[in-house]
Amino acid sequence: MIAPQEPAEKTEEVLHEDVLNYTSRPKGVSLARNRAARLVGEWGQVQLVETARLLVSELATNAGAP
């Protein structure tokens, strides 16, 4: 038998968004990587800054590949 559970308290989910286009040149990759790291830190996710930096760097580099 499973005991009835109280409904979980609803919390408002906060979504952060930032949109900016970069060129597919090495400088664009650097700018995207640094902006992502800065924004993630500003959004209070300091523990994810380096992960965001790496992921954005990989995505931006691959997006510019022929």
Residue 43 in domain? yes
Closest CA relative to residue 60, chosen from 15, 18, 29: 29
Model pTM?
A: 0.69
pLDDT digits (tens, 9 = 90+) for 12-25: 676 788 888 887 78
Residue 20 domain flag: no
In terms of residue numbers, what domain contains 39?
A: 26-63
The Cα–Cα gap between 61 and 66 comes to: 10
At residue 2, the pLDDT reads: 60
User: What domain count does the chain have?
Assistant: 1
Query: 22-57 pLDDT, tens per residue?
Result: 877 888 999 999 999 999 999 999 999 999 999 999
Q: Which residue is it, tokens 């992502």?
A: 36
Instruction: Write down the pLDDT at residue 64.
Output: 73
Going 59 to 61 to 63 to 65, the CA torsion angle's sign is negative
DSSP 30-45: HHHHHHHHHHHHHTT-
